[in-house]
Amino acid sequence: MDQIRTLTPRTAVIWSVVRAELDRRAGERLSVLDVGGGTGGFAVPLAEAGHRVTVVDASPDALAALTRRAAEAGVADRVRATQGDADALTGLVEPATVDLVLCHSVLEVVDDPEPVMSALVTALRPGGAASVLVAGRAAAVFGRAMNGQLDAAAALAADPRGTTGGRDTLRRRYDTTDASALLTAAGLVVEEIHGVRVLADLLPAAVADGQQAALVELERALAARSPYRDLAAQLHLFARRPA
């Protein structure tokens, strides 16, 4: 896992949390499951760090890109690409075989997040950990309003699922309370919650691109602190299946 790839405002906070878990289990070759892992932005660096990663994704194109990326990085033997639906995960992964599950930017688009979470927990070994990233509701309200879409902002704020309705690209968005409740109901213990992209999406591109290192540091400084965390574009929850 080289520093360049991990030092972006989009991923730095998540990598800090995931790295702490890898450090906690230093010397072990972990079994990682990346649900909706796409083209391998997390899977390939984890394989490069020596872990075995299974990516389950619905998109054959994403999996083809993942396979190419893994081959280019020289870790094809440690990355397994499986086409499948997160909604039907139980049939794809052996129960209690996984040390670390990633589920990033997926719960917003699946048919029903509860059975997906439940299947993730079933896949985890007791003591295993889950890294879950979901879209934040408050940031979406602010974003619409700042773009002048006040009706959409009002609809999103009023909708129990945090969407603007039929044309929304996402089926739901979360705040820290309902995201935590989802994981807890599935049997996980939530250990940490961070905001991801507290500021990154609000800044002019010239500032975000021109001062990336400073932005990463600021994102890190704000990520765990309310109210900044609660206004982030995404919420990252790190949770564990009790041993």
Ligand X SMILES: C[S@@+](CC[C@H](N)C(=O)[O-])C[C@H]1O[C@@H](n2cnc3c(N)ncnc32)[C@H](O)[C@@H]1O
Q: Which residues bind ligand X (CB under 6 A)?
A: 36-38, 41, 57-59, 62, 85-87, 104-106, 109-110
Choice between 67 and 151, CB closer to ligand X? 67
Contact 11, 223 (CB under 8 A): no
In the complex, the smallest distance separating the C-beta of residue 87 from ligand X, rounded to whole angstroms, is 5
Q: Where are the alpha helices (DSSP H) in 169-211?
A: 176-185, 205-210
Of the two residues 171 and 207, which places its CB atom closer to ligand X in the complex? 171
Q: Which C-beta is closer to ligand X: that of 41 or that of 115?
A: 41
**Rg, C-alpha atoms of the chain:** 18
CA triple 233-3-106, angle to 5 deg:
35
How many Å apart are CA 243 and CA 217, to the nearest integer? 34
DSSP state of 140: H
H or E element in which residue 62 lies: helix 60-72
Encoded tokens for 220: 């890190």
Give the three-state DSSP class for 60. Answer: helix
Kindly state the smallest distance separating residue 243's Cβ from ligand X, in Å: 27
Nearer to ligand X among residue 105 and residue 180 (C-beta): 105
Q: Which is nearer to ligand X, 83 or 147 (CB)?
A: 83
Residues facing residue 234 across a β-bridge: 135, 196
Residue owning tokens 């800044």: 203
Do residues 147 and 139 lie in contact, with contact meaning Cβ atoms separated by under 8 Å? Answer: no
Query: Tell me, what amino acid is at 243?
Result: A
73 vs 157 by CB, closer to ligand X: 73
- Report in angstroms how near the CB of residue 27 gets to ligand X at its nearest: 27
